[in-house]
A and B are shown apart, each in its own frame.
Chain A
Amino acid sequence: MSRWRRSRSAGARRRRFRIGCLPLLAIVLAAIILVAAVALRPRTLPEPGIIAAIHKPVEIARLRPVSAFSSIADPDARSLALFAEAGRVIQHPRCMNCHPRNDRPTQTDAMRPHAPWVSRGPDGAGEPTLRCSTCHHAANFAASGVPGNPEWKLAPVEMAWQGKSLGDICRQILDPARSHMDRTALLHHMTHDELVGWAWHPGGKRSPAPGTQAEFGALIKAWLDSGARCPA
């Protein structure tokens, strides 16, 4: 009897400190509702407006005009200086990418191998089964970022510039056997060629060649007129 009383009083003590499942669930639920209410409370949204586009400005590099070289008295030194300035265009990625040393063009300012894998083909405009025109058309296309020009193709492999010094390139462009151009045609190519001109209007994030095509042509003309000396 006394044992029964003892156990009953102990049970009563335990019951005093026990919280049932339902109140506990209610507390947790209330906490979730409170957090959700705080998180989802109506707030004033920012006023809609035009967010200014932040474009990284394409760096425009200038060319020194022909007149800047007139102070060089020695004709050979002047000719070399003119070609060195024109070389800033010749060795620019916009030009070098299409003068690869193998059958595969490079691309971007970093001159990485062209992706997808393509090959120059018999006419420099791609293999018959994967032409450049599969992706490249008559103009730069902003929607896809793919550049374009009506004359889009690679320079002949005899005109490979990549991996060559400016002096080697100089001797190469003066050699009709490799350039397929006499000096008149060379000057025309540099000054008026449609695809060469694209180098100054490449679109997208591609950096244009320094100066303008007219300034570049003027440098080439002055260099040819001054004896067309080539760096070592």
Chain B
Amino acid sequence: MAYPLMVNGRAHQIDDDGQTPLLWVLRDTLHLTGTKYGCGIAQCGACTVHVDGQPMRSCSLPLETAAGSEIVTIEAVAGHEADAVRTAWVERDVPQCGFCQSGQIMSAVALLRAKGAPSDADINLAMSGNICRCTTYNRIRAAIHDAAQASGQARPV
């Protein structure tokens, strides 16, 4: 059965089993390999994408549930929050091995869209589902604060 999927602004018809995790559709069918397979059981957050604006773990989202939704992956996430996060990530030299970072960035962008100036507690609440084996958490936190500040200044009044 073919499922309609809007990914990064492009419409697709995905002919696959409805129980296929969205992650495999993104990586194997659409070749969007920026979204990573970490654990496959929604424990690490490496596969985070935006589904209708909400961060979701694509390893735990069946294709049949994702069908009809608008999906944004790390390849196309845009806007002043995304720009600010990207700049802060580079300036803080956040990634170490980098494997979890696309998921971290997708969660961070979603956080900044929901809360323009998050506190440390807000960051803990939003980012606790994204694990970094290199333990770059301090740099992630600092970069989110930097991005919040830059994004706040860039946000249209």
Contacts and interface: CB of A to CB of B under 8 A. Distances in A.
Contacts of A137: 60-62, 65
Contacts of A141: 19, 21, 60-62
Nearest to B61: A137
A138 B65 contact: yes
Given A116-B129, A144-B41, A129 B110 contact: yes
Contact of B42 (A119, A128, A129, A135): A135
Contact of A146 (B60, B115, B129): B60
Contacts of A142: 19
Nearest to A143: B21
B114 A144 contact: no
Contact of B60 (A116, A119, A138, A144): A144
Nearest to A119: B125
Interface stretch (B6-14, B26-34, B51-59, B82-90): B51-59
Given A129-B114, A135-B60, A137-B60, A144 B129 contact: no
A12 B140 CA distance: 79
Given A142-B19, A143-B60, 19 more contacts: A116-B45, A117-B124, A117-B129, A118-B128, A127-B126, A129-B111, A130-B126, A134-B129, A135-B56, A135-B57, A135-B60, A137-B61, A137-B62, A141-B21, A141-B62, A143-B21, A144-B21, A144-B41, A146-B60
Interface of B: 19-21, 40-43, 45, 54-57, 59-62, 65, 110-111, 114-115, 122, 124-126, 128-129, 131
